[in-house]
Amino acid sequence: MLAQLAQCEFALSKSRLSAAMSAAELQNYENLSRQIESGIESAKRSIESTKLDFQEAKTVRKNRIEYDVMAKVINEQPDRKATNEKLAQLRKELGSLEETREQLEKKLDMRRKQFHVLVASIHQLQAMLDSNETEDILEVALYDAFEDENEPEESQTVTANNTTQMEVE
């Protein structure tokens, strides 16, 4: 019986040790479970933070790209001082060209007037020549007609009259 009692006590102490070990193991698993849950929560917070950082990084990158594009466009353009100097030079050149144009227009107008006077003079001279030629033809015709009919004295008178008339004109 003692052996049975010792065996029962041994089984009891084995069961107690097994229960204590199971309780300790249960406690250890609960601690591990809390640590894992805590790690999961920490990982979730880290993921959320990383997501926000990622969005911010995307925005910064997008802004940097836009900035680089704008900087490239701006760098292609001359600076304000050079632009203003070039603009002033172009305005000065424009003023000079306008002045030259006005002078040329005045000169052209004067030449047109001179040409008009020249053409009018040519027409007047042509008219005078035409009338003189007509008169000369008439005089020659009359002279020939008078020469046949009149004596030589009268033909000299007509010639003298024609010479006088031509001098007056």
**Residues constituting the chain:** 169
Q: What is the CA radius of gyration of the chain?
A: 65
Below-50 pLDDT ranges, the chain: 153-156, 158, 160-161, 163-164, 166-169
CA-based end-to-end distance of the chain: 185
Compute the Cα dihedral for 152, 154, 157, 158 and give only its sign: negative
* pLDDT value of position 149: 60
Q: What is the pLDDT of residue 5?
A: 80
0.85 exceeded by pTM: no
Q: Specify the DSSP class assigned to residue 121.
A: H
User: Which pLDDT score is estimated for 123?
Assistant: 92
Residue type, 7: Q
Residue 128 pLDDT: 84
Token pair for 85:
């100097």
